[in-house]
Chains A and B, each alone.
Chain A
Amino acid sequence: MKPEIVSLKVNGQVHQVIVTPNMTLSEVLRGPLDLTGTKQGCGVGQCGSCTVLVDGTPTLSCSTLAIAVRDSEILTIEGLSTGDRVHPVQQAFIDLGAIQCGYCTPGMILMAVALVDENPNPTREDVKEWLGGNLCRCTGYVKIVDAVMAAAQTLREGDCR
């Protein structure tokens, strides 16, 4: 197993990274790329905290090989804000206190972004379905659902950042 130089497009920027085939996307993001906003929780694909978007698709970065997603567009939590301006979903999480310890938050937010991209007018049930694979062990799902609903409304009303 030889290390290879792989180019990974993360948050719009192309990085040349030395990886071995057995490195997961979460390891490469958090290690060589120093993008520690992506959290690794369970490491077995059950908690959702490592969720990133790969070509817009919600993907568990702990269960994805980095080498397999070269040539793809990867979006992590760091890529959501523009300058000082956070994404409306992030703003709604802040405004509505949808954060306790914060560990699950990046995964929750990226799932919410994928949801509102696909369905700008979700119901609370839709939000619960979409966040079904993201665990919050502080247990505060009500405010999280409130925040996603509020963000969806903001986005519908035309906050395009």
Chain B
Amino acid sequence: MKPFEYLEPATIAEATQLLSSHGEKARILAGGIDLLPRMRAGLIDGDYLISIRRIPNLDYLECDGFNGLAFGAMTKLRSLETSEALRSNYRSLYDAIHQITSIQVKCTGTAVGNLCVATPASDVATVLYSLGARVEITGIDGDRSEPIETFYVDAHRTCLGQGEMVTRVLVPSPAPGTQTVFLNLVKTHADVAKVSVAVAVTVEDGSCRDAKIAIGSVAPTVIRAYKAEAKLKGEELTPQLIQAAAITASGETRPISDVRSTAGYRKNMASVLVRRALEKALRRASDGSTKEENR
């Protein structure tokens, strides 16, 4: 690995000061799961690694059905996965983390680190798009909060400016009657998905009061399928409507071909996964069996 200076600020203010003064040459080190292998492979440079592990109060998880979910920049994926409250209130988020195979990765890797890599293939980010998450950012000029949709600007690019870091992620509590589903298509779970889909559907007497559909790995960032969502809102969730919304959602994707899949296959599978996710949400809503399935 190329040489660098290792810095361990004791506060967020010190960290943002260091980020600001070292600019592009500085990188934040949290769990290191993504950063260190890429630095060793020479894929990215960093003259200054700013470790945030000694900053107090960044590793926590608050979760209840009323105030929602909050976690900090050092909260490990494993802490999210093992929270009973998260599992019962945010089923899709639990499923997305649970299917990550390596426990070692989840024990040291942070959820915020996963988000800051800014890959459109992040299963965690895909779920957070469907849950209306917000990202809290602290910089030398103060704090701001961004909806996750505007946190990302392009593949591998967030809206973070010089001297800014993510301190916290907030996820609102799903409205009563909301079912959240995560599905992805992978060759093997140790690999990155070809396509991921997360939906949050609020169902009242068989009709859809609200729907959020997020799709990963089909554009430079995770996307929301807004046109498909609009088709569903206020309507009865018939098989025909679900199928039509799935096709609309597929039309909203802009995938590329790469080593894992062709663009055409991604487009087709986006439609299949959206349909299956909506069907699963509706099925859970009608048998009220979420609790059962949680086990």
Contact = CB atoms under 8 A, between A and B. Distances in A.
B33 interface: yes
Nearest to B36: A63
A63 B104 CA distance: 10
A111 B53 CA distance: 23
Q: Chain B interface residue count: which class?
A: 20 to 34
A63 B33 contact: yes
Interface string B231-252: 0000000000000000000000
A129 B189 CA distance: 12
A68 B29 contact: yes
A68 B28 CA distance: 13
A21 B108 CA distance: 19
A157 B10 CA distance: 46
B4, B40, B103 pick with most chain A CB within 10 angstroms: B103
B104 A48 contact: yes
B264 interface: no
Nearest to A107: B104
B1 A22 contact: yes
Interface string A123-136: 00000011011000
A61 to B, nearest CB: 10
Given A21-B4, A21-B5, A45-B37, A65 B32 contact: yes
A6 B7 CA distance: 14
Given A44-B37, A132-B102, A133-B101, A67 B107 contact: no
B44 to A, nearest CB: 13
Interface in A88-129: 111, 129
Contacts of A132: 101-103, 189-190
B107 A59 contact: yes
A20, A23, A68 pick with most chain B CB within 10 angstroms: A68
A7 interface: no
A105 to B, nearest CB: 16
B41 interface: yes
B105 A60 contact: yes
Contacts of A59: 104, 107-108
A64 B102 contact: no
A76 interface: no
A132 B78 CA distance: 14
Interface of A: 1, 20-24, 43-46, 48, 51, 57-60, 62-65, 67-68, 111, 129-130, 132-133
27 contacts: A21-B3, A21-B5, A21-B6, A22-B1, A22-B4, A23-B1, A44-B40, A44-B41, A45-B36, A45-B37, A45-B104, A46-B190, A48-B104, A51-B104, A57-B107, A58-B103, A59-B108, A60-B33, A62-B37, A63-B108, A65-B29, A65-B32, A65-B51, A111-B104, A130-B103, A132-B190, A133-B105
The 9 closest A-B pairs by CB, nearest first: A133-B102, A21-B6, A1-B3, A44-B37, A132-B101, A22-B1, A58-B104, A63-B36, A60-B104
Interface of B: 1-6, 29, 32-33, 36-37, 40-41, 49, 51, 53, 101-105, 107-108, 189-190
